[in-house]
Amino acid sequence: MEDYKTFFESFFSKDILEGLTVTGINIILIYILLMVVVYLESRLFKKFIARREKNSVDKTNLIFLKNVVIYSTYCVGFLSMFNQIPGMQQLSKTLLTGAGILAGAVGFGSQQAISNIVSGIFMVIFKPFRVGDHITLTGDNKGTVIDISLRHTTIKNSDNKLVVIPNTVLNNQSVINSSVVNPATCALVDVFIGYKANIDQAMNLIQDEALKHHLLIDKRSDAEQENGDSLVTVRVVELTKSSVNLRAWVWAASNSDAFVLKCDLLKSIKERFEREGIEIS
């Protein structure tokens, strides 16, 4: 141990060794303080977000603010640790003095990151969608928004997988928000029958199965109700070479309920047609 200490001190003076020790302690203390502050910030925001969620208040702004605050805290903390290293302060000044080319390269490389941040800010301000909304993107990529950060938005799809999308991508494509104003969703149930089947009977059976489902809601206007219009509309939408295509319009309280309603009806209609002797093409 003494040989190792003698060998080490032969390269570094006592002052340098003491400086390195103080620097190491300062970096460790700053790191511990950084972790404590981030932990307290996360707990505080989690408490506020849970309170808003309990009161059914939009939490999008608070989640975005949480990401900004925690990201800024990390930046300040790591910069503080960096500045504790001897000589780094002067190195930083030197880089800033003659970093025209470097600044240009960094600026070009960070354009995408800055665009993502600006797009995220615009989305939070203008709210084309909020955390908790169900959205559909180009390519039938859809799910529920669970987070909007500085650089990307995270949605959870029907397979319970997380899809991370850069904010600039969302800002430059069409987004269908199924949760804005009224979350009620219309499900389209398509059934193909043979030409020999009784069309009227098939349409009546589809209506009957839909009316029995507990997730069906009434979206008829007052005028439609006064006229006695059916709660479920079924029409012939296409005649192909091998089938008559029927479509039923059924409404549910939300997008997820509409999906369940459609799946259940396809099963029950198929079973009902088999019992009634109606050919499915």
Which residue type occupies 276? E
Q: What is the arithmetic mean of pLDDT over 232-254?
A: 93
Confidence of residue 248 (pLDDT cuts 50, 70, 90): very high
Please determine, for residue 275, whether its predicted confidence score (pLDDT) is greater than 80. yes
Of the pLDDT bands very low, low, confident and very high (cuts 50, 70, 90), residue 100 is very low
What was the pLDDT predicted at 250? 94
> pLDDT tens across 156-200, in order?
887 888 888 888 887 777 787 777 666 788 899 999 999 999 999
Q: What does the block give as tokens for 279? A: 């050919």
pLDDT value at position 76?
79
- The yes-or-no verdict on residue 214 having pLDDT over 50 is yes
What's the burial of 197, exposed, middle or buried (CB within 10 Å: 0-12/13-18/19+)? buried
pTM for the model stands at 0.47
Average pLDDT over residues 20-43: 79
For the chain, give percent helix, strand, coil, nearest 5. 55, 20, 25
Give CA–CA dist 37/19, Å, rounded: 27
Between 65 and 211, name the one with better pLDDT. Answer: 211
What mean pLDDT do residues 234-239 have? 94
CA-nearest of 213, 196, 276 to 248 is 213
Whole-angstrom distance, CA of residue 192 vs CA of residue 278: 10
Instruction: Note the residue count of the chain.
Output: 281
Predicted confidence band of residue 105 (pLDDT cuts 50, 70, 90):
very low
Q: What is the pLDDT of residue 189?
A: 95
Q: Pick from 82, 89, 178: which is nearest to 129 by CA?
A: 178
For residue 30 the two structure tokens come to: 């700053």
More reliable by pLDDT, 202 or 253: 202
pLDDT of 96 reads 47
